[in-house]
Amino acid sequence: TAGITQAPTSQILAAGRSMTLRCTQDMRHNAMYWYRQDLGLGLRLIHYSNTAGTTGKGEVPDGYSVSRANTDDFPLTLASAVPSQTSVYFCASSEQLGLAGSGEQFFGPGTRLTVL
Amino acid sequence: GQNIDQPTEMTATEGAIVQINCTYQTSGFNGLFWYQQHAGEAPTFLSYNVLDGLEEKGRFSSFLSRSKGYSYLLLKELQMKDSASYLCAVSPNQAGTALIFGKGTTLSVSS
């Protein structure tokens, strides 16, 4: 079944450690995104990539980095985790608005990260 | 700045109709989306409006007024499975497809 996969499903991480959250899509979408979702704050954009080889900063990029070496993969790295990065992380992908459909975003199942 | 407002919580009974409002103020506008998110799951796409008016899709309808910066999601013949969070999101520009999300409205449907 086509879609987006994320790994791991959940993780407990010690503060100061680094971690990479993985995201892979098989829909050949140009654009990919990383969001964090916190109670009372909704979904907030961390980083995005409109096409392979390019990335951009979202609303809350500090402490996170991304890369987009190919169309399918968009890993998110926490270089030195802090407790405030405890959250649920969602990866999403979409086609460009106007090119195919509405440009709706398809979301992965999420990664629940706890930083202690 | 960019701002999207929607009520935090709503309650309704099975079989009823509920309207979830969303107002937005963004630097640009290239479409408004509604997503449904059940607890512990990923958001899933419900509707997209870019022109003024009503879009109907089964029991769900979405309305947009660009001049008022206003949208609503209408859910008819409510079922228990409609208990979820409903997220309003705006695409502010054509350069990219990143969305700005509201904080979501948690709808509880009771029997």
d(CA A102, nearest CA chain B) in Å: 7
pLDDT single digits (tens) B12-52 = 999 999 999 999 999 888 899 999 999 999 999 999 999 99
Contacts of A106 in chain B (CB under 8 A): 45
Whether the CB of A106 is below 8 Å from some CB of chain B: the reply is yes
Percentage of the residues of chain A whose pLDDT score is greater than 70? 92
Listed as own residue / partner, the contacts of B1-8 with beta carbons closer than 8 Å and 24 or more positions apart are B1/B25, B2/B26, B2/B27, B2/B90, B2/B92, B2/B100, B4/B88, B4/B89, B4/B90, B4/B100, B4/B101, B4/B102, B4/B103, B5/B102, B6/B86, B6/B88, B6/B102, B6/B103, B6/B104, B6/B105, B7/B105, B8/B103, B8/B105, B8/B106
Nearest by CB to residue B104, choosing from A42, A58, A94, is: A42
Nearest by CB to residue B42, choosing from A31, A48, A110, is: A110
Count of pairs with CB atoms under 8 A, one residue in A, one in B: 65
Residue A100 has a pLDDT of 45
pLDDT single digits (tens) A39-84 = 888 999 999 998 999 999 998 999 999 999 999 999 999 999 999 9
Residue A103 has a pLDDT of 75
